[in-house]
Structure 1
C-alpha cells in the first residue's frame, strides 16, 4: 500500500474531502445512459416469468421484441421541459434508457408471450410449447 500525503493548506484538499463523501455516481453523466434494471427469472412447468424492476416509467416507453431467439426489452424516455422562469445549469435526468437481451431456448412459444407493467414491475410471461409441458413418463427397468 502506498501512502499519499496531502497538503492540508490546499483548497483542493477541502473539496476532495467534501465530494468523496457523495455517492460515486454523482456527477457522472454516463450512469444514466448505462442503467440496467434488476431482473428476476422464474421457471414453472408451464413457462418462464421475467420481472424487471423499473419504477416510475410509462408502459408506452417500453419496447419488447424477439429476433432470432433473442428477447430484447428496451426502454427510452426523453424529457423536454422548458421553463422560462429559470435557467437550467445542469440537467442529468432528462434522458433515460436501457436495453436487456435474453436468449430464448427452443422450449419457448414466442408467439404467445405476454407482458404487463404494474406497480413499477415489467412482467413478461414466456409460455413453453405444449410438447415441452408434457412430463416424460418413467420407464421401468426390467
Structure 2
C-alpha cells in the first residue's frame, strides 16, 4: 500500500487554518454553532427565576401554537415543535427551495419546588413563554413526643 501526501505551499489562510484547527473548541464552534441548522435544532433559551416561579423563553419564530408539544415526565419538561410546509402550485415553477421542515426538542430538569400541575405556556411574536410556578411551602408539622 502506498500513501501519498501532497504539501501545499503555505499561505496566510493555510497558516491560520492550521493554528485554529488545533484548538478543540474550534471543532465545536465550526461544526455545531456555525452550522446553518444550529438555531433551528436548538432554539436559544432564557431562564429567569422570580419569587413566584421560573420563566422559560424560547425564540422559535415561524411556528403556530398548534405546532408545540409540552410534556412533563419524571421531573423533566420536554418542549418540542414540528412544522411541515407543503405547498405545491401548478402555476409556479419552483427554482429553489431551502425550507419546508422545522423541528426541535429541548428538555429541562425541574426543581423539586416546581408545581408541575400548573405549568402554562403562551406563544406570541415568535417567543414561546413557559411559566413554571413554585409550590407553596408546606409548614413543617410539629410532633409532640410523649416520654413514657
TM-score by length of 2: 0.65
Match for 1:56 among 49, 55, 62? 62
* 2:118 counterpart residue number: 112
Question: Quick one: structure 1 residues 58 and 95, their matched pair in 2 at CA, closer, same or farther if it must change by over 3 Å?
Answer: same
Gaps in structure 1 of 5+ consecutive residues: 5-23, 135-142
Q: Which has the greater radius of gyration?
A: 2
Match for 2:50 among 36, 44, 52? 44
* Aligned-CA RMSD value: 2.5
* 1:85 counterpart residue number: 91
| Deviation of the 1:91 alpha carbon | 2.8
Secondary structure of 2:117's aligned partner: helix
Gaps in structure 2 of 5+ consecutive residues: 1-8, 12-33, 140-148
Misfit runs of 4+, over 4 Å: none
Distance 1:75 1:3 in 2: 47
The size of the alignment, in residue pairs, is 110
| Deviation of the 1:89 alpha carbon | 5.2
TM-score by length of 1: 0.68
